[in-house]
Amino acid sequence: MNFGEIQRIRDQFQGGQWPQFLDRVDIKGLRGWQGQSVQFKFPVTAIVGENGAGKSTVLKVAASAYDRTDETGYYPSDFFLDTHWDTLSEIELGYLVKIGDNNASFKIKKPTKRWSFPSKRYGRRIYWFDVARTLPLDATAGYARVARLAAGEIANEALSDAYRAKLSYILGRDYQGARFATPDVNEKRAVGLLRREFGEISQFHQGAGEDTALDLMRALQEVPKYSLIIIDEVEASLHPKAQRRLINFLVELSREKRAQVIVSTHSPYVLEELPPEARVLLLPTATGPSIIYGASPEFSLTKLDDITHPEAFIYVEDLLAEIWVREILATHVEGGDLLSHLKISAVGPANVVAMMGSLALAGKLPQPGLGVLDGDQELKPGCVKLPGAQAPEQVVFNGLRQHNWGLLHERFGIGAGGLHAIFEDVMLNPEFHLWPELIGNRIIKSKTSVWETMVTEWCRICLDPNERDAFADAVRNVLPGA
């Protein structure tokens, strides 16, 4: 993640420098949606979820928010069609948009056969890129004839040097030229060409990622300020490094043009390049999607394979909490059996843990679950708390210090005097979240290895048996049949 660029765009966005912005969509009557809202809290937002969770529905509803401007814009009927098999009615789409310093809300409805619109609609440039953009050129309608019959060019349009450089950076290749040629057999079917060290190659023979990225860069260089850019499956055809670089480019483009970007994705590489407020997880439930904001990339893209079948989920903030929970349960007499029925998932900040615990308590998730909040958080429904009243690092370090660090010198294989001095020195740093990493840097071990060793020792000498048993009971109670 480009933290500097993220902070710049965050500061400018919070300062109100996006005069046009789609703040929220409400969806009712479409594909299982029952009035849920999706908020857009950052200029570049990624919608993530499993297939059929509703990602494309959100994108299409967003694309329908504004009236057409210079032929860029869409109606709901462009996306949500009545067919021989589908009759759509009782649909209600709600919107909250920012226009300058003002907010406006309105609804688009389809009570029966026709869509109805508010008396006033707001115009905005909309750029929609669906998955059809990933089709090879020779599989796209009209281009087979171009491939067979073109004998020359009647026009030529070069990609700007700046955007050619961006394309080179994203794909990790030095393109000496990038242009679009209009063939003499069809002036409406431009063909993209890239020039590399061995010569020029057309989109008929480019790699899928090159083909897709070239078309995308051509469109994006023409996007005016304040536009809304929507890209379905933004990672399609791109390798991980290219995915990361494309998202970083979109963040930069959003800041420079004050444009809003909404993408859908299945890629952890995309999510890792965006801050928590830019991630929206759609979680299917029996009553329509649940909307989770700020979920970690790992949890957002968790898939159960055919081997692992947990009976319940334990939701924690991060990897450190995950390790601590596992070690606490492992010390219980029934801990091994409990852990065999569970999956512990690091889902992100405390608000996400609380949301998952609440959904599990209400029976709105596919499997039973329990949220486990850090000790310094307020207890929420469907959740329990980790030991202590402070953050995990503070509880573990301070507890071990009170016991003169136990047998950590033996576990780490370092003399007690030197190791204890390192601990005391590191704890002078006010950023307690860094303590395990700083210890690891000093004794040449990973942050995770340090933390696993420390919580194992903490559980041995600091954990109150009554607190351990109560925690294990809370976990056992969420298992089916408990």
Q: Confidence band (pLDDT; 50, 70, 90) for 137?
A: low
Q: Say whether both 260 and 116 belong to one domain.
A: yes
Contact between residue 259 and residue 292 where contact means Cβ atoms under 8 Å apart: no
Instruction: Quote the domain boundaries for residue 323.
Output: 304-387
Residue 407 neighbours by CB under 8 Å, 6+ apart: 457
Query: What pLDDT is recorded for position 143?
Result: 56
4-18, 41-55, 271-285, 288-302: segment of lowest average pLDDT: 288-302
Q: Which amino acid makes up residue 306?
A: D
Give the model's pLDDT for residue 185: 62
In a domain, 375, yes or no: yes
Share of the chain above pLDDT 70, in %: 91
pLDDT of 30: 87
433 part of a folded domain: yes
Phi, psi angle pair for 84, to nearest 5°: -60, -30
Q: Are residues 314 and 182 located together in one domain of the fold? A: no
**pLDDT of res. 39:** 95
pLDDT exceeds 70 at position 135: no
477 occurs within a structural domain: no
Nearest CA to 447 out of 432, 461, 463, 436 is that of 436
Tell me the per-residue pLDDT of 463-472, one tens digit each, with 9 for 90 and over: 999 999 999 9
**CA-CA distance, 336 to 205, in Å (whole number)?**
56
Return the pLDDT at 305: 41
- Residue 203: beta bridge partners? none
How many Å apart are CA 354 and CA 371, to the nearest integer?
A: 6
Residues 106 and 159 in one domain: no
Does any domain span residue 467?
Answer: no
> Within this chain, do residues 315 and 279 fall inside the same structural domain, yes or no?
no
Q: Which token pair is 100? A: 């300058």
Question: In 10 A of CB 454, how many CB atoms?
Answer: 28
Secondary structure (3-state) at 458: helix
Most confidently modeled range among 19-28, 52-61, 68-77, 343-352: 19-28
Residue at a domain's end among 349, 370, 387: 387
Segment 420-434, tens digit of pLDDT: 999 999 999 999 999
Q: Kindly state whether residues 11 and 80 are assigned to the same domain.
A: yes
Q: Are residues 100 and 10 in the same domain?
A: yes
* DSSP H or E run through 369: strand 369-373
273 close to 2: Cβ distance less than 8 angstroms: yes
H-helix or E-strand spanning residue 281: strand 279-283
- What is the 3-state composition of the chain as percent helix, strand, coil, each rounded to the nearest 5? 40, 20, 40
Give CA–CA dist 47/130, Å, rounded. Answer: 14
State the DSSP H helix or E strand holding residue 147, giving kind and residue range, or none if neither.
helix 143-149
| 77 and 155 in a common domain | no
Same-domain status, 7 and 96: yes
CA distance 22 to 7: 21
Query: Is residue 466 assigned to a domain?
Result: no
Give the CA radius of gyration of the chain: 27
pLDDT at position 307 is 47
Q: Is residue 474 part of a domain?
A: no
Q: pTM higher than 0.85, yes or no?
A: no
Total count of domains within the chain? 4
Q: Are residues 101 and 238 in the same domain?
A: yes
- Same domain, residue pair 119 and 263: yes
From 387, 403, 423, give the residue that closes a domain: 387
- Give the pLDDT band (50/70/90) at residue 152: low
Is residue 65 in some structural domain?
yes
Residue corresponding to tokens 């928590």: 276
Give a yes or no: residue 470 inside a domain: no
Together in a domain, 249 and 355 = no
Neighbours of 75 (CB within 10 A): 14
Paired residues of 265 in beta bridges: 48
Contact 66, 77 (CB under 8 A): no
Find the CATH number of the domain harbouring 71: 3.40.50.300
Q: What SS3 state is found at 380?
A: coil
- Are both 336 and 444 inside the same structural domain? no
Q: From the CB of residue 215, how many other CB atoms can be counted at a distance below 10 Å?
A: 18
